[in-house]
Amino acid sequence: SNYTITKFRYRKRKPPSLQMAESIATSRTAWLSAFWCIYYGTGIIGMLVIYGLLQERIMAIPYGQAQQLFRDSVFLVFLNRVVAVVFAVSMAAAKGESLRNKAPLWK
């Protein structure tokens, strides 16, 4: 028959061609989501590698007249966090977003 019972409701079955089209669309959406996940993950890891290489270069190359090495890596990390906060606040302001949390903090 063309009808199926699901939870006490009668529903007309979809034609096989429509079922296949929906299956392909769902599959394509899953592959697209996987692609973007890999793309963004690679970008994050790539930026962390660049940041680490630059920090190592700053720490390893002597500078100034006395050819001293930069020894305070905590200061570099602090500056990185300051730049990240300034960037985040400026992007939130540019997009008109609130700086308040919308999700509850206790969950």
Tell me the C-alpha distance between 97 and 4, whole Å.
Answer: 48
Q: What is the pLDDT of residue 22?
A: 67
Q: What is the pLDDT of residue 5?
A: 53
Positive or negative torsion for Cα 35, 54, 79, 87: negative
Q: What is the pLDDT of residue 17?
A: 65
> Distances in Å between the alpha carbon of 81 and those of 50, 62, 71, 77, 106?
16, 24, 18, 6, 25
Q: What is the pLDDT of residue 83?
A: 94
Q: What is the pLDDT of residue 100?
A: 86
Q: What is the pLDDT of residue 55?
A: 85
Q: What is the pLDDT of residue 25?
A: 65
Around Cβ 70, how many Cβ atoms within 10 Å? 16
Classify 6 as helix, strand or coil: strand
- Residue spans of the chain under pLDDT 70: 1-25, 107
Q: Note the pLDDT tens digit of each residue in 14-43.
A: 666 666 666 666 777 878 888 999 999 999
